[in-house]
Structure 1
Amino acid sequence: MEELLEEALVPKEEQPYEVPGNWVWVKLISTKDTKDNSFGDGDWILSRNIDPDGEVRLIQLSDIGKGEFLDKSSRYISLETFKELGCTEIFPGDILISRMADPIARSCIIPDIKQKLITAVDIAYLRPNETIVGKEYLNYLFNSTFFRQQAEGIARGTTRLRITRKNLGNLPIPLPPKKEQKQIVVKIERLLNKVNEAKRLIEEAKETFEHRRAAIIKSILQERVINDKVPNGWKKVKVKDIFNIFGGGTPRKSNKDYWNGTIPWISAKDMKAMYITETKDYITEQGLNNSSAKLANKYSVAMVVRSGILQRTLPVAYLLTECTVNQDLKVFDSGDKLINKYFFWYIKGNEKSLLNKYSKSGTTVNSIEFERFKSHEILLPPAEVIEEKIGRLESLIQKEKKVKELVELINQIEVLKSSILSKAFRGELGTNDPAEESAAGLLKEVLEEKI
C-alpha cells in the first residue's frame, strides 16, 4: 500500500509550487480509472485503412481544441478494420490530450457522439477515476499555461514537438479535495463566461467598424456627387496628369556600406501603418546614390503595386518624412500636400473596386496593372472642399486608435484567462476549506481498493 502511495505522490522537492494543506501533488497517471486501458495512446491508422463508409469514427488532432472538442475531421474505418488492427475504443467523457504541438498537451472532453470511436496515435486518452478527480477539473488544468509549459519542457522533436505518453503520465498535477474541485470548476466557468462575453462584444465592435470604414470613407468622398455628374468647381483628372510617379529600388544587400544609415527605406512590411514616420530598414547616402532607389518628398503617397498581399488589400500610406521605397512600391507626389492626402484617402475608400479593376495574378505574387492604373480618373474637388473632407476623414483616425485599443484589450483578456486558471490551480480563487478532508486521504482509500 505504501509503495503504491509513494508511486502516486510527487516528492516534496519535485513539487512545482506550494498548494493548500489539504491538496496533494500527484502524477497524472495516478488519476486514471482503476480498470485496464484507461490511459493509453490512440491507434496507428494509415491512409489505406480509411473507409468513407466505415462505422468507426477516427478522432484526429484537428478535433482537439484548447479545452473544447472542435469536430473538424470526418474520417472513418470499417468495423472489420477495427477488429483486424485491434483498435482501442474510446468513449464520451474520456479526455483526449494532444501529444503533439501546436500547442502541445491541449485537451478536450469527448462529447456525447453517437458513434463508435477511436483516436489517432499522437493523441493520448485518459478515463479518469472520478472518485478522486473530476474530468472537468482535469480538462481545465491540462489547458492551463502551467501544465502546457511542463509538457513543452520535456517534449522532443526536430520539426514538431511531441511528448511520450510515459512522460505525460509522470507530469505532476495539483489535486484538491473532490468537493473543492467542483467549486473550482464552477468558479472558473463563471469567470470565463464573463471574460468570453467581454471578448465577444469587443470583437463584434472591432469587426463592425472595420467593415464600415471603407464605406464611410467612400461616402464622404462621394458627397455632392449626384448621378456621377461633376459638381461645379470639381474636375475629372487622370492619375498620371496630376502626379509625379516613380518606383523604387533596393541597394545591394551584400554591401554593408549601403545599409543601416539614416534614410528610411519602405518595403511592403512597413505598409501596415497609415502614416509613415519610421521604417524597419534604413539605407545610407551611398546606398541611395548607387541604386535605383529615389528619395520621396515628405507628404508624398506610397502604394504597394507588387505583393501577395494584393490578393486581399491595397496598402497605401502617407509619408510624414522623406523616404525611399523598394521596387514593389510606387510613390505619388502632386507637389500639393492637400491633393496628396486626398489621393491617399481616395485609395483607402475605393480599395476593393481598384483591386478588382487593376489587380492581376502572377506566377508567384499579385501586381497592379500600373500602366492602366495611371490612366484611372478621379474626381478632384476644389481646395476648400478637399480640406473639409480631409478634416472629417481624419476624425476616423481617432476611431482607428480605439480599434487598436480594442485589439489590445483582446490580448489582455487572453492574459486574464491564463491568470484565472493559474489562480485556480494554486487554490487562490477562495475555494479552499482547510477543514475539508485531504485529497491524500481519498487517494489512499482508492489505492487500498486496488490491493
Structure 2
Amino acid sequence: MSEIEKLPRGWAMTTIPSLISGGVFTDGDWVESKDQDPDGSVRLLQLADIGDGFFINKSNRFLNEETANYLNCTYLKPNDVLVARMPDPLGRACLMPKLKQASVTVVDVCVIRPAKNEHFNSSWIMHFINSPDFRGKIAALQSGSTRKRISRGNLSKIEFPLPPRNEQDRIVEKLDELFSELDAGVNELKAAQVKLNNYRQSLLKSAVEGVLTQKWRNDNKGKIEETGQELLNRILSNAGNRINSKSLKKKAKIHLKTGKTNIQSQSNRTQLIYLNFLKGGFGQVFRKLVGLIEADQSIDLETLHTCMAVNILLFKLAK
C-alpha cells in the first residue's frame, strides 16, 4: 500500500516548496565574524537558539542594520518556522517568537513562511517536521563526513501528509493539550525525585543516629550483652593481644595490597581489620568492615548496624 493510500480521507501528500507557493523557503544568511557588531541593533540567531519544538533564545550575536541591509539578509517574522540543518538533532524545528529587536539567522537555519496564514498552520508544519517519520527521511538524505547536515535542496524533496486547513488547527490544539499534560507529568516526577532523595538521606541519617533501631533497643532492654563501647574495647583488646604474630602480619600486608583476605577465622579477620586501624588510622576501618560484610553473606542486618556503630565510635575516638 502506497503512502497516499494510507492517508486519512481528505489528506494529500505534499512538499515544502509546493506548500509555500509564493511564501518564503530559504536558508539564513552568510554572516561572517567581520560583519558582526556587538553594539548592533539586529539580532543574529544561531543554531543554538533552535530547540526541538521550542525556541531556546541562547545566543548573543548582533550586526548593525546597515550591514544587514547590505548583505540583503532575510528579516525574520513571528511564527516563521526555523529548521536547523545541522545537529543535534538534525532537522529540529521551532517557531520564531516575537523578540524586541529585528532578527536574522545564520545560513545553517532554514526559514519557512507561508504566503498567507490561511495556507497552513505554522505550528502544524513545525510538529510534522519534528515527527519521527519526517526525521527519518531527513536522516536518509543527510550528507557530510564529519558533521552531518541536510541541504535545503534535499529538504525540499521530502514528501509529507497535508491535512485540510481546519484539521491542521485541531491537530495543533490537541498536541498542545497533550504536551501540556506531559510537561506537568515531568514536573511532578522531578518533584517526586527530589522528595525521594530527601527521604533517602533522612533514612541514612536515622540509621547513623540509631533512630531506626530505637524500638529494637526498647524491646530488648536487658538482653543486650554488651554496649558498643564494650564491643569496641573487646575488639581492640583482641587485636592488641595478637598483633605480634608474624604470620598475621604477613597476611595483613597481602590484605592491604589486594583489598581481599583469605583468612577464614572471624576473630582473625576482625584482628586483621584493626591491625589496619593501628597501622593506618581510622579512615580505612569502615572500608575494611564493609569488605568483610560483603565477603561473608551470612552476616545479618544487626551485625551491619553494629559495624556502623563501631565506625562512629572510632571516629569519635580519633577526634
Deviations 1:174-208 (A, max 9, x none): 11111111111112222222222222212221232
1:214 to 172, 193, 201: 201
2:17 to 24, 29, 32: 29
Root mean square deviation of aligned Cα: 3.4
Deviations 1:44-87 (A, max 9, x none): 22333332211111111111111111111111112232133332
Partner of 1:92: 78
Q: Distance in 2 between matches of 1:172 and 1:17?
A: 14
Residue 344 to residue 66, structure 1, CA distance change in 2 (3 Å): farther
Partner of 2:137: 150
The alignment's TM-score, normalised by the length of structure 1, stands at 0.50
Q: Distance in 1 between matches of 2:16 and 2:47?
A: 21
Q: Where is the strand percentage greater, Structure 1 or Structure 2?
A: 1
* Consecutive unaligned residues in structure 2, runs of 5 or more: 212-225, 240-251, 264-286, 315-319
Partner of 1:194: 181
Q: Distance in 2 between matches of 1:344 and 1:122?
A: 61
Deviations 1:264-315 (A, max 9, x none): xxxxxxxxxxxxxxxxxxxxxxxxxxxxx96899xxxxxxxxxxxxxxxxxx
> Equivalent pairs: percent with the same residue?
31
* Letter aligned with residue 333 of structure 1: G
Deviations 1:342-387 (A, max 9, x none): 59989xxxxxxxxxxxxxxxxxxxxxxxxxxxxxx93159xxxxxx
Deviations 1:21-45 (A, max 9, x none): 311100122222514xx11111122
* Letter aligned with residue 228 of structure 2: W
Q: Secondary structure at the match of 1:39?
A: strand
1:119 to 105, 110, 134: 105
2:311 to 351, 367, 378: 378
Partner of 1:333: 291
Which structure 2 residues correspond to residues 35-74 of structure 1 after superposition, within 5 A? 35=23, 38-74=24-60
Which structure 2 residues correspond to residues 211-360 of structure 1 after superposition, within 5 A? 211-223=198-210, 233-235=227-229, 246=256, 332-334=290-292, 337-338=299-300, 341-342=304-305
Q: Distance in 2 between matches of 1:92 and 1:122?
A: 19
Displacement after TM superposition at 1:211 (Å): 3.9
* Consecutive unaligned residues in structure 1, runs of 5 or more: 1-11, 225-231, 249-292, 298-328, 347-376, 382-451
Q: Secondary structure at the match of 1:216?
A: helix
Between the two proteins, the alignment pairs up a number of residues equal to 252
Q: Distance in 2 between matches of 1:74 and 1:177?
A: 39
Q: Where is the helix percentage greater, Structure 1 or Structure 2?
A: 2
Q: Distance in 1 between matches of 2:307 and 2:18?
A: 64
Q: Distance in 2 between matches of 1:199 and 1:79?
A: 42
Q: Secondary structure at the match of 1:379?
A: helix
Which structure 2 residues correspond to residues 163-174 of structure 1 after superposition, within 5 A? 163-174=150-161
Q: Distance in 2 between matches of 1:110 and 1:21?
A: 32
Q: Distance in 1 between matches of 2:307 and 2:140?
A: 49
Displacement after TM superposition at 1:221 (Å): 1.2
Displacement after TM superposition at 1:215 (Å): 3.6
* Letter aligned with residue 46 of structure 2: Q
Runs of at least 4 residues of structure 1 off by over 4 A?
244-248, 293-297, 329-332, 338-346
Contact 1:63 1:69 in 2 (8 A): yes
Q: Distance in 2 between matches of 1:44 and 1:168?
A: 19
Q: Secondary structure at the match of 1:45?
A: coil
Displacement after TM superposition at 1:107 (Å): 0.6
Contact 1:246 1:332 in 2 (8 A): no
Residue 331 to residue 152, structure 1, CA distance change in 2 (3 Å): farther
The alignment's TM-score, normalised by the length of structure 2, stands at 0.68
Partner of 1:182: 169
Q: Secondary structure at the match of 2:120?
A: coil
* Letter aligned with residue 26 of structure 2: G
Contact 2:228 2:306 in 1 (8 A): no
1:205 to 147, 172, 192: 192
* Letter aligned with residue 6 of structure 2: E
Q: Secondary structure at the match of 1:83?
A: helix
Q: Distance in 2 between matches of 1:160 and 1:24?
A: 34
Q: Secondary structure at the match of 2:311?
A: strand
- The higher relative CO (CA closer than 8 Å, separation ≥ 6) is in 1
